[in-house]
Amino acid sequence: AALPALVLGAGLLAAAWRWLRGAVLPVRGGSMRGKTVIITGANSGLGRAAAAELLRMRARVIMGCRDRARAERAAREIRAEVGEREDGAGELVVRELDLASLRSVRAFCHRVLQEESRLDVLINNAGIFQCPYMKTEDGFEMQFGVNHLGHFLLTNLLLGLLKNSAPSRIVVVSSKLYKYGEINFEDLNSEISYNKSFCYSRSKLANILFARELARRLEGTGVTVNSLHPGIVRTNLGRHVNIPLLAKPLFNLVSWAFFKTPLEGAQTSIYLASSPDVEGVSGKYFGDCKEEELLPKAMDDLVARKLWDISEVMVGLLK
């Protein structure tokens, strides 16, 4: 009897909290007509929400997704939600991209460079969260390989097109959990020890350091780079997290009440991709569409440069 009462009580509190909090209104930036945007992991969660909103703003959105069938299904659903434009503005394009495979990343970029005349925004959104120890196709620890190295190679291979399309923007989705990560250069691949939580945090810290170093390298090019924390969002990112069966009803209730929806969580990505307010702003970290302070370890330029140099070798940009 205690558990149903607990769930009911939590439900009432949750409903009250959601009512008091109110709805988060979507960002309404300027028109994105004539602009091309790439979003990784755009078939679900934050990426899907961002794709739908940018399509509403009339962008040409390229969905870079590992599972083509799921991506095509998501694209159909988004088109149905947003509606077709009579003037032809706004378009969704699905392209296969597996960030756990450097071969796939190179093939994706090769096709983009062949087919696209411009690239105005790159949103590095896809990620994997607290998975059991496993390796990518190229032998990298999965979280570091997908969340950092896959996006590192992707961004570098598309830099020429971004520069030619300037002013253009790069948006890097990180997480406040970076605070619990450390860049251990002696064990970047987690072969000595592996903790799925710490390794996720490490990959998110790497995202911020990468964005910071890239912003420094791109000064004066017209290409801006910013990273962000989307908040705690109800997505399938936590599919590797085991929740006891009896606790699931309570967890689902709490997540419904206190976690952001994908659309709410995507607002900062959309803001950084489209808003004139951040035109020319680079090398910063945002949350809830506002600039936030970083811990000193996320602003360590020596570590950022060393991580860049090692990453170049790991992904094969340098021998």
Share of the chain above pLDDT 90, in %: 77
Per-residue pLDDT, 83: 76
User: Greater confidence, 30 or 248?
Assistant: 30
pLDDT at 16: 46
Statement: residue 219 has pLDDT above 80: yes
Query: CA 75, CA 63: separation in Å to the nearest integer?
Result: 8
**What pLDDT is recorded for position 232?**
84
How does the average pLDDT of the chain come out, rounded?
88
The residue with tokens 């490490």 is 202
Helix (H, G, I), strand (E, B) or coil at 145: helix
pLDDT, tens digit, 9 for 90 and up, residues 167-183: 999 999 999 999 999 99
CA distance 5 to 236: 28
pLDDT digits (tens, 9 = 90+) for 75-123: 999 999 997 555 556 999 999 999 999 999 999 999 999 999 999 999 9
Domains of the chain: 29-315 (3.40.50.720)
The closest of 66, 90, 87 to 79, measured between CA atoms, is 90
**Contact yes or no for 169/223 (Cβ under 8 A):** yes
What is the side-by-side strand order in the sheet with 290-291?
91-96, 60-65, 36-40, 121-124, 168-173, 223-229, 285-287, 290-291
Give yes or no for residue 222 having a pLDDT over 80.
yes
Give dist(CA 129, CA 200) in Å, integer: 6
Query: What pLDDT score does 159 carry?
Result: 98
Q: Indicate the SS3 state at residue 64.
A: strand
Q: Which residue has better confidence, 245 or 63?
A: 63
Q: Tell me: the pLDDT tens digits for 126-141? A: 999 989 999 999 999 9
Q: Compare 183 and 239 and report the one with higher pLDDT.
A: 183
Of residues 1 and 49, more confidently modeled? 49
Per-residue pLDDT, 240: 44
Q: Identify the pLDDT of residue 182.
A: 97
| pLDDT at residue 233, rounded to an integer | 61
pLDDT of residue 256: 42
Q: Are 159 and 122 in contact (CB under 8 A)?
A: no
* Residue partners of 150: CB distance under 8 A and separation at least 6: 99, 100, 101, 102, 105, 126, 136
- Please say if the pLDDT value at position 245 is more than 80: no
Q: Whole-prediction pTM value?
A: 0.87
pLDDT > 70: percent of the chain: 80
Torsion of CA 49, 50, 56, 61, to 10 degrees: -120
Q: Is residue 198 over pLDDT 90?
A: yes
| Positions marked active-site | 200
Q: Is 230 helix (H, G, I), strand (E, B) or coil?
A: coil
Q: Which residue has the higher pLDDT, 229 or 240?
A: 229
Greater confidence (279 vs 237) lies with 279
How far apart CA 243 and CA 239 sit, in angstroms, is 10
